[in-house]
Amino acid sequence: MNISFRQLRLFLALAETGSVTAAAKVMHVTQPTASMQLKEMAVAVGMPVFEVVGKRIYLTEVGQELALTARAIAQSWDAFEQTVDAAKGLARGKLRVAVVSTAKYFMPHLIGSFCKQHPAIDVSLEILNRDGVVQRLRDNLDDLYIMSMPPKDMNLGDEAFMPNPIVVIGSTSNPLARRNAVPLHELAQHRFIFREKGSGTRMAGDQFFRQKKFRPDVRLELGSNEAIKESVAGGLGLGVVSLHALHGHRKENGVSVIDVQGFPLPSAWHIVYPAGKKLSPLAQAFKQHVLQQISRRQR
């Protein structure tokens, strides 16, 4: 099978953009050239690797396998280039990190301090809900992934690096905000505002409530911590969020942590990647940077 590395890069661009025109732009070739090379690849494979349905491109089953192979080859080559650069005393390349949305409250600072040490590198930071990050993890699209609830059905390299306490919040005018050790059963009188199903915070909260046989009265399910905080501040109910969503404070912008028995829930932030994946020198350096920076903060 005679397929060049550049053709594999082109096919990978097609898989990631879903467009021949966009893939051509990524690879800095004309659209006719990209189309011709993709056709040559299909001939070399001996089976269709993508199909066009209603002006949209879909990878065939063989094409999906080819994309996984192309991605693995490209990542290995990028790691080799970084190894050569490191041997020359250089630090350049591209670091890809995907994080769940709550991690946006602390990860940019860690990435910023890393970039100060390595000013020649480029960073791609994807901030998504947990389902989005898990899907990128399954597709092996990034170097490292930051989340609080890693999937249990995957074999992962996994290091917990920082606590992620889960707390109950209410409006600052809520009488519960001025009490200590509020019994959980008293919250049955209040409506709740939760993150969407599948988020790490929601999973931790649901697990705790099931254990305590407590059924919260859910008024809203929202896709961001900011929306939850605004709704709670407006008096629509109680929220369950990571303390990081309040920037580590117990009170912020009209909401306050409520001291509920059993809370804060113990949770942790994890830095993960597929267990069989060989991390690039840049990814290894960033992982160590995160662990060292957090360790210093916790001393």
Q: Are residues 34 and 175 in the same domain?
A: no
Please report, for the domain that includes residue 154, its CATH number: 3.40.190.10
pLDDT at 282: 87
pLDDT average, residue stretch 248-266: 92
Question: Nearest to residue 271, comparing CAs of 288, 253, 254?
Answer: 288
Q: Are residues 252 and 171 in the same domain?
A: yes
Q: Are residues 291 and 151 in the same domain?
A: yes
Domain membership of residue 209 (yes or no) is yes
Domain membership of residue 24 (yes or no) is yes
pLDDT at 76: 84
pLDDT at 55: 75
Domain membership of residue 110 (yes or no) is yes
| Token digits of residue 215 | 């059924």
Name the residue with higher pLDDT: 56 or 130: 130
Q: Are residues 159 and 275 in the same domain?
A: yes
Q: Are residues 170 and 126 in the same domain?
A: no
Burial 86-97 (b: 16+ CB within 10 A, else e): beeeebebebbb
Please tell me the least confidently modeled range out of 70-79, 80-89, 226-235: 80-89
pLDDT average, residue stretch 278-293: 90
pLDDT at 119: 87
Residue 154 clears pLDDT 90, i.e. is over it: yes
Q: Are residues 158 and 185 in the same domain?
A: no
Q: Are residues 118 and 41 in the same domain?
A: no
Please report, for the domain that includes residue 42, its CATH number: 1.10.10.10
Question: Nearest to residue 204, comparing CAs of 239, 243, 166?
Answer: 166
Domain membership of residue 145 (yes or no) is yes
Name the residue with higher pLDDT: 87 or 210: 210
pLDDT at 87: 61
pLDDT average, residue stretch 202-214: 95
Q: How far apart are CA 255 and CA 233, in angstroms?
A: 5
- Which of 12-26, 230-244, 285-299 is most confident? 230-244
Domain membership of residue 189 (yes or no) is yes
Q: In this structure, how many other beta carbons lie within 10 angstroms of the beta carbon of residue 23?
A: 25
What's the distance, Cα to Cα, between the start and end of the chain in Å? 56
Q: Are residues 251 and 276 in the same domain?
A: no
pLDDT tens per residue across span 117-135: 888 888 999 999 999 999 9
Residue 239 is part of which domain span?
166-258
Q: How far apart are CA 203 and CA 80, in angstroms?
A: 39
The total of structural domains in the chain comes to: 3
Question: What's the pLDDT band for 82 if we cut at 50, 70, 90?
Answer: confident
Q: Are residues 154 and 222 in the same domain?
A: no
